[in-house]
Chains A and B, each alone.
Chain A
C-alpha cells in the first residue's frame, strides 16, 4: 500500500468522494471561526484602528498565492516524472484558485494601503512581485485552455511551470533590486508579524488554516471535475470510433 495508489484516477475518485463534504464543511467552519474571531473579537490597533483587521484576509491569501504555485510545481514534477494523471489535473485545478488568491491579496493590499500609506498602489517590491505572479498564473491558465489534447496540455504546462518557477524567483530578486535602486529610504513593506501579539496571532493562524482547507476542498472538487471531463471525452471518442 503506497501513497501513489491514490494517483490512480478511480481510486482517487472513490476515496475523495465521501471525504468531500467533510473537507468542505471543515473549511467553512474553520475559516468562519478565524474571520469572525479576527473581525469582531479583537481590539482595534492603537495606530491603525480597525483597518488592521484586513490582515485576516490579506495574509492568508498572500500565503496561499505563493504556496499554490509551489504546489503546482511539485504536481508538475510528479506528472513529468511519474506520469500520474491525477497530479497533472490537480495542478490544473489549483491554478485558478492561485489566481484568485493572488487577486484577493492584491485587492486587500490596495484597500489596506489606501488608509495606511495614502495611496492605492505603490511599486513596492512585494506588491510588484505579486503582480508578476498574477501574470504567471494567467499565462499558465491560458496555455492549459489553448491546447486541445489533454496529455499534450499537461506536458507543456508542466514544462512552463518549471521554467516559470525559475523566472518567477529571478523576477522577485530583480524587483527587489530594482525598487531599491529607485527609492532608497523608508521601506513600505509590512513587517506585521514581528510586532504582533497573541490577540492577533491566534485568529490569524486559524484563518490561515481555514484558507488551506478551502484550497484543499476546491482542489479536490476541481480535480474530480477534470477527471469526469476526461471520462466524458473518452466516451465521446469511443462513440466516434464506432
Chain B
C-alpha cells in the first residue's frame, strides 16, 4: 500500500489554494504536513479523503482505504463512550472496541456520556475511532489539539503500532510529536499562483 500523490491541485471556496503537490508515502511511514495557517492543509487532507474533488492531479489510493479524522470528532453527546465507538466499529465492520479503548486509555470512561468528557478525553475518543476503522492510510487534521503531553505520547504509540502493522499516516500538525521517524513536507512552496494566461477567466476556475 503506497500513497502516491502527483501534481495535485485543490481549491477552497472556488479559489485554487494549492497546486503541483506531489509526494509519496509508503506503508510503515509517516508524513507530517507543515505550513502557515490558511495554506491549504485542511483542503489537501479533505481532497485526499474524497470529500471534495481535486482541480487536477492524481491520487493513487482510493478514499475507501483512507481513515479521515478532522477537527470535529463527530461524537454524540448523549451516547456513552462505548456506544459512540461501537457505532463506528459497526459502520466500518472492523474489530471490537476493546483494543481501541485500551490504546487511548478510555477503558475507565467507557460508560460515561460523551457530553461529560473533557476536551482532551473527547479528542482521545475521536482518535480511538481510527483504530476501529482499520483502514491502511490515516489522514489526520491536527490530531493532537487539546491533548496533554501524556495523551500525545499515547497517540504517538498508537500511530507507531499502526505503522508497524504496515499502515501509513499523513498528519497536519503544528507541534512536535516526538515521532522522529516521520518525514516533513512543507506546503508553502505549492501555493497556487494567480494565472496570467489571457484566455483563462479566473472567476470560473
Choose from B13, B194, B199, B204 the contact partner of A230 (Cβ within 8 Å).
B204
Residues of A1-56 whose CB lies within 8 A of B = 8-10
**Of listed B13, B14, B199, residue having the most chain A CB within 10 A:** B14
- A183 interface hit (Cβ, 8 Å): no
Residues of A within 8 A of B14 (CB): 149-151
- B176 interface hit (Cβ, 8 Å): no
Interface of chain B, helix or strand or loop or mixed? Answer: loop
Q: For chain B, which range describes its interface: under 10, 10 to 19, 20 to 34, or 35 or more residues?
A: under 10
Residues of B within 8 A of A9 (CB): 201, 203-204
- A82 interface hit (Cβ, 8 Å): no
- B15 interface hit (Cβ, 8 Å): yes
Minimum CB–CB distance for B199 against chain A, Å:
7
Residues of A within 8 A of B204 (CB): 9, 85, 230
- B202 interface hit (Cβ, 8 Å): yes
Chain A: interface residue total (CB-CB under 8 A): 15
- A201 interface hit (Cβ, 8 Å): no
A10 pairs with B199, CB closer than 8 A: yes
Residues of B within 8 A of A241 (CB): 15, 194
B202 pairs with A234, CB closer than 8 A: yes
Choose from B194, B201, B203 the contact partner of A233 (Cβ within 8 Å).
B203
B194 pairs with A238, CB closer than 8 A: yes
Residues of A within 8 A of B194 (CB): 238, 241
Residues on B lying within 8 angstroms of A by beta carbon are 13-15, 194, 199, 201-204
